[in-house]
Chains A and B, each alone.
Chain A
Amino acid sequence: MGVELLGGRILAPYFGSSVHVWGSIITVFMLSLSLGYLFGGRLSLHQPSLQKYGRIFLFAGITLLPLAYFAIPILDFVFDNIEDTRYGSLTASMLLFFVPTIILGMISPYSVRLLVTNEAESGHIAGVLYFVSTLGSALGTLATSFYLVLWFEVNTIIFTFCLLLIALGLVAMLVNKMEVKDAKVPLQS
């Protein structure tokens, strides 16, 4: 959600900040999240592990980086080629947000798979996950729109989000390694 809000900022110099620009951004985010949920669920069928889970975070962080570094040439390109601000903003949103948001969407279903250990508690765990992720979205929206834009540059905020995702990914992979090690110790002894 933080990224979505910043998306409005990034597109405004090229397409304005009218309702259709927000429409484009929200459409692209919803579309990519829906695909992300689908792919994340699919991925969780094949030997799910914390290692792979960490990799999702890592990829999300990496695919978000171009938003900070290549947004201007991409926006210039779209602006030069599409006159209509509706389709211009939709195309620009696709190019900038589609891939990273799909990957971010994969996190939720994959989390469900990792946390659910038996059928009976699956609903409960899914509920807690929805709670955490939606509450996180709310807080991210509030923090970004009320304070972060007042203190930092857009790119600084995006860069921080990227680092945070990459760090989380690495932590997950590290924890996974330690668990594997722990699991191996009793086997060997």
Chain B
Amino acid sequence: MQKYLYSLNLNLSRFIALAIFISASFTTQAKVIKEERSLYRNIFVEDKGNVRCLKFSVKRKTSSQSCINKDNPQKLVFNYTKYVMSSLVFIPNPQKVLIIGLGGGTLSNSLLELYPQIEIDNVEIDPAVVRVAKNYFDFKETDKVRSHTKDGRIFIKRAQRKQQRYDLIILDAFNGEYIPEHLLTQEFLEETKSLLTEQGVLVANTFSSSKLFHHESATYHAVFGDFYSISNENSSGNRVIIIPNKMPLASEIGNNVETLTLPLAKYDIKLFNVISFMDLEKDVESDYRVLTDQYSPANLL
């Protein structure tokens, strides 16, 4: 009986400890410091401890689009941004970069910091996102780092007509809730491909669950053949697709890994690990239909 009471007591003390722990974690409760309703969505900026996040709420679900560590702004919070930055092993000295989908501007800032001479075109459809990025995420604009408030597809079509070329193109316009269907078609990828320099690299941060995943693969294969990808184990369907226009020699990649490991470590990127996560997805026969401008029910798949 006493033993029983003892164990009850122990359980009780565990319970109390747990309760204290929970209430302690509540003291670092998330605080919304900015709320904005734009033409496209509701935008929040939320502080939780030392992490500040840009959140979109779509269909009653709120998801973080971009986060920064306020105490150590260089440290990248999201794995996917680390994967995107790791694609530099294929193009270690990009001169001109195109980013579709600004978010908090984390990628743009990190690239500018690494390469002070770099030229970046950030394209973001939502002017409210650009404002929030500048005011709350320290998104830096210079005469060479610009932001364009435009639909990504339209920017790319215009750039194609002006025969512009980019060393690195980052497609980061997707989130788990809604996919802009005209940014996931064969025609769109062809247009994007035509903007790459000879050594250029395309990186896409994509979200696609179940069936769409295969349609997405089929579409990328149709345009690019084989590609590299890193899947994020923590969230279903999130993967970063990396496509070098021309594959560098293995020895070059080895050198690039060596020279980039230290500079990227500041951003909390363990380059060696990330490289080991990279899979080569072979262009094999697929039963899934390629998405085109004519057939693009991406949000229904």
Question: Is A85 an interface residue when CB atoms closer than 8 A count as contact?
Answer: yes
Residue from A13, A79, A85, A150 within 8 A of B182 (CB atoms) = A13
Known: A13-B153, A17-B180. A155 touches B294 (CB 8 A): yes
Flag whether B185 is at the interface (Cβ < 8 A).
yes
Contacts of B293 in A (CB 8 A): 9, 12-13, 154
Chain B proximity of A18: nearest CB distance (Å): 7
A15, CB-defined interface residue at 8 Å = yes
Q: Which residue of A lies closest to B155 (CB)?
A: A16
CA of A177 to CA of B214, assembled, Å: 54
* Residues of chain B contacted by A13 (CB below 8 angstroms): 153, 157, 182, 185, 187-188, 293
Distance in angstroms from B270 CB to nearest chain A CB is 38
The answer to whether A62 has its CB under 8 Å from any CB of chain B is no
- List residues of A (155-178) whose CB comes within 8 Å of B's CBs: 155
How distant is the Cα of A18 from the Cα of B38 in the complex, in angstroms?
12
B102–chain A nearest beta-carbon distance, Å: 16
B151 at the interface (CB under 8 A from A): yes
Contact indicator A15/B154 (Cβ below 8 Å):
yes
A150–B296 Cα gap in the complex (Å)?
8
B300 touches A149 (CB 8 A): yes
Check A18 against B39 for contact (C-beta < 8 Å): yes
Decide yes or no whether A182 CB sits under 8 A from chain B: no
Residue of B nearest to A16 (CB): B151
Chain B binding surface, main DSSP class: loop
Q: Within the assembled complex, what's the spacing in Å between the Cα atoms of A12 and B125?
A: 13
CB distance from A138 to the nearest CB of B (A): 19
Query: Is there contact, CB below 8 Å, between B161 and A85?
Result: no
A18 touches B295 (CB 8 A): no
Contact of B151 among A9, A18, A149 (CB under 8 A): A18
Given contacts A13-B293, A85-B154, contact A18 B300 (CB under 8 A): no
Residues of A within 8 A of B185 (CB): 13
Closest to B39 in A: A19
Complex contacts, B296 vs chain A, CB 8 Å? 9, 149
Please report which residues of chain B, range 154-197, place their CB below 8 angstroms from some CB of chain A when the two chains form the complex.
154, 157, 161, 180-182, 185, 187-188
CB atoms of A18 and B157 under 8 A apart: no
Decide if A16 touches B125 in the complex (CB within 8 Å).
yes
From B182, which residue of chain A is reached at the shortest CB distance?
A12
| Cβ-based interface call for B297 (8 A) | yes
Q: Is B69 an interface residue (CB 8 A)?
A: no
B300 nearest in chain A by CB position: A150
Whether B180 contacts A79 by the Cβ 8 Å rule is: no
* Chain A residues within 8 Å of B39, by CB: 18-19
On whether the beta carbons of A153 and B300 are closer than 8 Å, the reply is no
- The interface residues of chain B lying within 8 Å CB-to-CB of A146 are 300
Knowing A13-B187, A17-B180, say if A154 contacts B153 (CB, 8 Å).
no
**B181 x A12 contact (CB < 8 A):** yes
List residues of chain A with CB within 8 A of the CB of B300: 146, 149-150
Structural contact, A154 and B295, CB atoms closer than 8 A? yes
Closest to A11 in B: B182
Check B182 against A17 for contact (C-beta < 8 Å): yes
Judge if B292 is at the interface, Cβ distance under 8 Å: yes
> Using an 8 Å CB-CB cutoff, how does the interface string of A1-25 with B read, 1 for contact, 0 for none?
0000000010011111111000000
* Min C-beta distance of B72 to chain A, whole Å: 37
Q: Which residues in chain A, 103-129, are within 8 Å of chain B measured between CB atoms?
A: none
**Considering the chains assembled together, what is the distance between the CA atoms of A185 and B259 in angstroms?**
96
- What residues on B are CB-neighbors of A19 within 8 Å? 39
Interface centre among A16, A146, A149 (most CB of B within 10 A): A16
The reply to whether A85 and B294 form a contact with Cβ atoms under 8 Å apart is no
Q: Is the CB of A14 within 8 A of B154?
A: yes
**Alpha-carbon gap, A14 to B187, bound state (A):** 11
Q: How far is the CA of A13 from the CA of B297 in the complex (A)?
A: 14
CB distance from A4 to the nearest CB of B (A): 17
Q: Which of A18, A150, A155 contacts B125 (CB 8 A)?
A: A18
Task: Decide yes or no: A153 and B292 within 8 Å by CB, A12-B153, A18-B151, A19-B39 being known contacts.
Answer: yes
Interface positions of B (Cβ within 8 A of A): 39-40, 125, 151, 153-154, 157, 161, 180-182, 185, 187-188, 292-297, 300-301
Besides A13-B157, A13-B187, A155-B294, 9 new A-B residue pairs in contact (Cβ under 8 A), listed by A number: A12-B182, A13-B188, A14-B157, A17-B180, A18-B125, A18-B151, A150-B300, A150-B301, A154-B294
| A-to-B contact residues, CB < 8 Å | 9, 12-19, 79-80, 85, 146, 149-150, 152-155
